[in-house]
Structures are given as structure tokens and as C-alpha cells.
Amino acid sequence: MTIHQISIFIENRSGTMIKVLNVLKQADVDIIASTVADTAEYGIYRIICSDPKKAHEQLKNAGIQCTISDVFALELDNLPGKAADAVAIFSEAGISISYLYSFLLNGKGILIFRTDDNEKAKATIKANGLKYITEPKLPTMA
Amino acid sequence: MDYKSEYLHPQYEALSREELQKLQLERLQATVQHCMNSPFYKARFEQCGLKPEDIQSLDDIRKIPFTTKQDLRDTYPFGMASVPLTKCVRLHSSSGTTGNPTVILHTQKDLDEWANAVARCLWMVGLRPDDVFQNSSGYGMFTGGLGFQYGAERLGALTVPAAAGNSLRQIKFIKDFGTTAIHAVPSYVTRLYEVMQQEGVDPRRDTKLKVLAIGAEPHSEEQRKRIEDMLGVKAYNSFGMSEMCGPGVGFECKEQNGLHFWEDYYIVEIVDPETLEPVPDGEIGELVLTTLNREAMPLLRYRTRDLTRVLGRTCPCGRNHIRLDRMKGRSDDMMVLRGVNIFPIQIEKILMQFEELASNYLITLTTDDDNDNMTVEVELEKFDDDYAKLQKLEKEIRRRLKDEILLTPFVKLVPKGTLPVSEGKAVRVVDKRKVYQ
């Protein structure tokens, strides 16, 4: 029910992003969505891509500190209030979301997020009949 | 006491070079003889076949082996003493975070002489018994507290042991007591000024301040000028170290052109830290000091690890006591930050306790808006995409470092493999402070 996201620990310094992107370019990996969480000292660059395993391997080989995380990807209708409704369900279930970002894919709103309790989140998605995206589906959608 | 005299101790301060050297030789001979009562020195003299009567001239000091901080640690706590412990009345100790602490013992006579030396320094820069002296430096084991306290009292000034911190109270004291002189580390003076500004206090209009003694942390000429401009005072550089009592070893006169090291108290040598041979006047080398009138714990040719140079042996102020430049750095890896002595190994020891961290780290010292700061960058061993965890980790590193070095550094986690690794010995400390520019 979850998909793989590459999370990269990067320095807040010019030249670090391009190093990451060049590795992905050379590996012929397609970036579907990405976001940077920054603090004064460092950043976490999170990427949903066409081939997370390959991306992870190539980044590691290039000496870039990264990890694969399991995140949820909900598919929502692109209408006002849909994100609020979805998040409310998790909130009511007592599940904390540690980070969240979204993007549009083929006219659908995609909500990517990580929770503190994946098992409970899975049960909640199931119980509420929420639509989610599986990893094999991602490249075909892009 | 003659208020009008420029000298508190004219019998020592106004000596000619020849008279000074004659006094130094007498005192050196007596000191070496007295060192035979120290188990450490007795053994060391026997080891190198040195007898007190071998010291016939000041140059003969070079026959005496150097004493190091390691010797002090090795003889911890009382192995250096040259008098029975019952004769000692005071003990100062370093924090000892890099191994055994070091202990310095004092007899009552030592404390008297120490107070005299500090009083002489303060008199030299214009303090008189009608002054109000506020000592805004740490007390306890830090010798800048009690050293200036006794010195200012010996001089006869009204002395306020305000200690460090609580800036609002400090400013209230300065205004209410009519404080005319302050001793503090330079970064704290800057802090005081900031708070004065916030509180709408104009030091020129609202205080009687005229003299500042600053020391215990490296500072540049520009920093001194800025402090003088801020407060409308004269700021004089003070040099001390706990091994030599504390403050009162060297102090600037009104010429502000180098620190007079009191040669009736110490023999000053400047040596090449590698060859240990003397360097010519004007060239930078390591400061080596020999105490000349200490009872409890004389130290012979003590390697201070501070780097400086001889500026001159005469001075328009009339004192012929050697003038040394402000300290230019260290010949070991010790850092002095806001008056606190820190070794990189202390930081390393803490960082290595975290299994989340890799072994590569870098310490950077900077001056930001007049404050000296330390940033510790350390590589993360394992990254697991949890921001809250990283923040918690940073906080915990900061807390444990503070417990160790008594200052709170900035902590910066960096990705593994991003810190510079040099061939062989890694560069651990980068000092970008203005003082060393």
C-alpha cells in the first residue's frame, strides 16, 4: 500500500542539489515529484521517481547519503476540500503525519505523506475506502 | 602610598635593566635551591645532574629542563610542592577534562605577592584607592576572580565581586556604586554594552567608567579599540595563567604598546616551540616562564604554549620590564573561547559517544557581531529520513558538549563524506576569529 521515496540528506550549500540531480540524470531515472525540507543547517530532499531502487543504488555509489522510506500516495479528485477531508480521516484516527506534499498527475491530486504508524494508516485507508497509488502504477501514470 | 606616583612599587618597577637582572639572578638561584624541596624537581635535577650551584648567570637557566603541563598532570595533586602542605593556604585547579587536572598551591606569602602584582598592574593604569572596581569575571577556580579581587583590595580600591553574568544587575551596580573600573573578558564587555543600549544607558553620560582590564581570551587590537569607543574608556590587556598564580603576570601600561611582564616575579624566555632554542627579539615563539618568588610551587621554565614576541625591554613609561606582544596563538591545539580553555579532544570524546555520528568532525571558531562562537560540524553515520530525530540528536549533542566544555556551541549535522579529510592528520579546528586575521 506504500510506495518508495528516496530521502537525501543534503548540505545547505550551493552545488549539492546539482550533484544529486546529475546522478539521477545519468541513471536515466525520471523524477515524478520532489520536495526539499530545509533548516538553517541542512536539508532533506525527498523524491518520488520512476525507479527508486536504481536511484538509491546510484546515489549511494556516488557517495550521497540517502535512504528509502515508505510513504503513502493517495489519489484524490482535484477539487477544493479533498485534501482536508483525507487528512481529517487520519487525524481522527489519531495518526500523526510527519510530512506531506502533493502534486497533480493526469488531472488527479496525489498526496504523499509519511506517518508515525504505517499499520494503523493502512487499516484506516482500507476502512475508509481511500484510493491509493501503488508503485508499479506510478511510471505508467507519468 | 603616594597617590601621585606612577609606580606602586618604585623599588621594583623603576629598576634599570642591570639592576633587574641582578635581582633575577639572586632570585633564580634561591628558587632553584628551594626547588630541591620539591619531590618532582629533586628527581629531575638528579636525572640531569644539575646542582643549584650550577646556576651562576642568567644564561645558566638553559641548563634547567623545561616543565610542561603534562608534568603538572603527572604529579597531580601534590607532587610539585616545595613546602609541606600545612604551609599551603590555597589550591587552584584546572577542570582536568583532558586527563588529570592540574593543581596550583599557594602559601600565604604567595597570595600576598600575587595580590601585590595585580595591585601594581591596576595602579599602573591609573587605579587609586578612591576608585570603585567591579570584577565581572568568574570566581571559584577561575583565577581571574580571586586574583583581581585581592589585587584591587590590596591597592585600596572599593572592590565589588560582581562575578560574571546577569548583565542588568551589573549595569545597576555600575550606576549605583559609581564603578570606575571593570575587569571582564572582552566578549562580556561587548555583551554589557549591548544590554546598556537596550536599557537606554549611555556609558559616557550615565556611568563613571574610565578603565577596563580585559584578558583571558584572545582579542585583536580592533576589538580593543571598539570596546574603548563603545564605553568611552581605556581598555588594557591583561595576561595571566593559573600556573603562574593567575592574573598579574603581564599587563599593559598606559602606552598600550605591549604587556609588561614583571621580571622581578618571572624570567621570560621566548623559544622556538620545535627546537626549544631562544628566538631573537621581535620573532614569534613560545612563551616560557620561570617563577622567581613563589614558595609553595615554584615552576622552572614552564612552557605556556602561548605564542608571542618581545616588543622591547624599555618603555616611555619608565618601566624596564620586558614588553611582550598580545598572544598570537598557541603552540598546541588548545582553543581559548570566551575565557574558557578547550581542547579538541574534549569535543571528540563527546561526539564519539553518539552511535548516530560518524567519526569525522570539524570545529570552526568565528567572530560574529563581536561575539566569539564555536560551530561543531559532524558527519551523520546513518540517515533515516526523520527530521524530528535529527533535531533531537542535535539538541542532545549540544547539551552534552555544554556539560563538557561549559559553552554552548552551534552543532551542525552534515552528510557523511562531506567534511574535508586531509592526508594523515585531519584538520579539526579552523580559527576564523578576527584576532588571528
Q: Is the pLDDT of residue B227 over 60?
A: yes
**Is the CB of B383 less than 8 angstroms away from the CB of A114?**
no
- The owner of cell 573561547 is B337
Quick check: A29 and A51 in contact, CB under 8 A?
yes
- Residues 6 or more apart from B85 whose CB is under 8 A from it? B78, B105
Contact state of B380 with A37 under an 8 Å Cβ cutoff? no
Q: Kindly tell me the sign of the dihedral angle through the C-alpha atoms of A109, A110, A113, A115.
A: positive
- Residue B424: per-residue pLDDT: 47
Interface of A with B (CB under 8 A): 5, 7, 9-11, 37, 39, 41-42, 44, 46, 63-67, 69, 98-99, 114
Closest residue in chain A to residue B418, using alpha carbons only? A11
Say whether both A58 and A74 belong to one domain.
Answer: no
Note whether B418 contacts A: Cβ–Cβ < 8 A. Answer: yes
Closest CA to B181 of B239, B256, B231, B131: B131
* B417/A67 Cβ within 8 A: no
Same domain for A87 and A65:
no
Closest chain A residue to the Cα of B375, Cα to Cα: A41
How, if at all, do strands B88-93 and B103-107 pair? antiparallel
> Which of A82, A65, A64 has its CA nearest to residue A74?
A82
Say yes or no: A88 and A135 in one domain. yes
- 10 Å Cβ neighbour count for B86? 6
pLDDT at B218: 72
Cα(A17)–Cα(B285) distance, integer angstroms: 46
**Cβ within 8 Å, pair A65-B385:** no
A·B CB contacts under 8 A: 41
Interface test with chain B among A41, A67, A71, A99, by most B beta carbons within 10 Å: A41
Integer Cα distance of A138 and B149 in angstroms: 75
pLDDT the model gives residue B215: 87
- pLDDT tens-place string over residues B378-419: 999 889 888 889 999 999 999 999 988 888 999 999 998 888
Mutate to test the interface with B, among A65, A68, A97, A112 (most CBs of B within 10 A): A65
Average pLDDT over residues B53-63: 97
Based on the structure, what is the number of domains in chain A? Answer: 2
| B-chain residues near A41 (CB < 8 A) | 394, 412-413
CB A104 within 8 A of CB A44: no
Cell of A76: 484524490
Q: Distance from A130 to chain B by nearest Cα, in Å?
A: 25
Instruction: Write down which residue in A36, A69, A102 finishes a domain.
Output: A69
- pLDDT at site B419: 85
With CB atoms and an 8 Å threshold, state whether B412 touches A41: yes
Domain that holds residue A62: 2-69
Q: How confident is the model at residue B436, as a pLDDT?
A: 47
Q: Chain B: give the shortest CA distance to residue A66, in Å.
A: 7
**Based on the domain organization, do A52 and A83 belong to the same domain?**
no
Identify the helix (H) or strand (E) that includes residue B181: strand B181-184
Interatomic CA distance for residues B15 and A141, integer angstroms? 93
| pLDDT at site B34 | 98
Question: How is residue A58 written as a grid cell?
Answer: 546510484
Would you give the DSSP letter of residue B67? B
Residue with cell 590555597: B90
Instruction: List the beta strands (DSSP E) in B302-417.
Output: 302-308, 310-312, 323-324, 329-330, 335-337, 340-342, 357-368, 371-380, 410-414
pLDDT score at B93: 87
pLDDT, chain A, mean: 91
Are the Cβ atoms of A44 and B387 closer than 8 angstroms?
yes
Spell out the alpha helix ranges (H) of B259-364. Answer: 344-351
Residues of B with Cβ-Cβ distance to A46 under 8 angstroms: 385
- Domain check: are A76 and A130 in the same one? yes
Are residue A42 and residue A94 in the same domain, yes or no? no
Q: Quickly state the pLDDT bin for B23 (edges 50, 70, 90).
A: very high
* pLDDT of amino acid B353: 87
- B2 to chain A, any CB pair closer than 8 A? The answer is no
B292 in Cβ contact with B265 (< 8 Å) = yes
Please state, for a pLDDT cut of 90, what percent of chain B lies above it.
72
For the cut 60, the answer to whether the pLDDT of residue B425 exceeds it is no
Tell me which chain B residues have a C-beta less than 8 angstroms from the C-beta of A7: 383, 385
CATH code for position A27: 3.30.2130.10
Q: Is B436 on the interface with A (CB under 8 A)?
A: no
Paired strand residues for B132: B158
Residue B432 CA to its chain's centroid (Å) = 20
Domains and CATH numbers, chain B: 10-332 (3.40.50.12780), 337-436 (3.30.300.30)
> Given an 8 Å threshold on Cβ–Cβ distance, is A9 in contact with B386?
no
Residue B164: is its pLDDT beyond 50?
Answer: yes
- My answer on whether A75 and A135 are in the same domain is yes
Do A107 and A134 fall within a single domain?
yes
The total of other beta-carbon atoms located within 10 Å of residue B78's CB is: 17
Q: Distance (Å, rounded) from C-alpha B295 to C-alpha B293? A: 6
Residue B410 CA to residue B431 CA, distance in Å, equals 15
Strand-by-strand arrangement of the B211-215 sheet: B158-160, B132-135, B181-184, B211-215, B234-239, B250-252, B259-261, B323-324, B310-312
Domain boundary among A69, A91, A125: A69
A137 falls in which pLDDT band (50, 70, 90)? confident
- Give CA–CA dist B223/B227, Å, rounded: 6
Do A130 and A90 fall within a single domain?
A: yes
Chain A residue closest in CA terms to B386: A98
Give the residue-averaged pLDDT of B215-238: 88
Spatial distance between the Cα atoms of B219 and B336, rounded to a whole number of angstroms: 10
pLDDT tens, residue by residue, B76-121: 999 999 999 999 999 998 765 556 788 999 999 999 999 999 999 9
The whole-angstrom separation of Cα B1 and Cα B130 is 12
Q: Evaluate if residue B423 carries a pLDDT over 60.
A: no
Residues A40 and A78 placed together within one structural domain of the fold: no
Q: Which residue of B has its CA nearest to A38?
A: B387
What chain B residue is nearest to A66 in terms of C-alpha separation? B383
Please give the average per-residue pLDDT across B168-190, as a whole number.
Answer: 94
Written as one letter, the residue type at B381 is E
Sequence-distant (≥ 6) Cβ neighbours of residue B59 within 8 angstroms? none
Within A12-142, strands assigned E span: 31-38, 42-49, 66-77, 97-105, 108-115
Output the CA–CA distances (angstroms, integers) from residue A122 to A48, A127, B195, in the order listed: 19, 9, 55
Amino acid symbol at A136: P
Chain B residues touching residue A9 (CB < 8 angstroms): 380, 383, 415
Q: How far is B411 from chain A (nearest CA, A)?
A: 9
**A47 in Cβ contact with A59 (< 8 Å):** no
By DSSP bridging, strand B302-308 and strand B285-291 are antiparallel
Contacts of A63 in chain B (CB under 8 A): 417
Measured CA to CA, the distance from residue B39 to residue B77 in angstroms comes to 12
Asked if A64's CB is within 8 angstroms of B385's CB, the reply is no
pLDDT value for A11: 86
Q: What local confidence, expressed as pLDDT, does residue B14 receive?
A: 95
Measured CA to CA, the distance from residue B300 to residue B359 in angstroms comes to: 39
Task: Kindly state whether residues A95 and A116 are assigned to the same domain.
Answer: yes
b/e per residue B247-262 (b: at least 16 CB within 10 A): bbbbbbbeeeebbbbb
Q: Tell me the per-residue pLDDT of B320-362, one tens digit each, with 9 for 90 and over.
A: 999 999 988 788 878 888 777 888 878 888 898 898 998 788 9
Contacting residues for B266 by C-beta, under 8 A, at least 6 apart: B244, B249, B289, B290, B291, B292
Contact B385 A10 (CB under 8 A): no
Could you tell me if A62 and A76 lie in one domain? no
Cβ contact B415–A98 (<8 Å): no
Contact criterion met (CB < 8 Å) for B385 and A11: no
Angle between helices B186-198 and B167-177 (to 10 degrees): 80
| Euclidean distance between CA atoms B151 and B119, whole angstroms | 4
Give tens-digit pLDDT for B6-20.
999 999 999 999 999
Domain ends where: A12, A46, A69?
A: A69
By DSSP bridging, strand B158-160 and strand B132-135 are parallel
pLDDT for B437 beyond 50: no
- Mutation pick from A7, A42, A100, A113 vs chain B, by most beta carbons of B within 10 Å, is A42
**Whole-angstrom Cα distance, residue A123 to residue A129?**
10
Q: What is the mean pLDDT of chain B?
A: 92
- Stretch among A100-109, B26-35, B155-164, B285-294 having the lowest mean pLDDT: A100-109
pLDDT-derived band at A41, boundaries 50, 70, 90: confident
Of B194, B250, B12, B313, the residue nearest B236 (C-alpha): B250
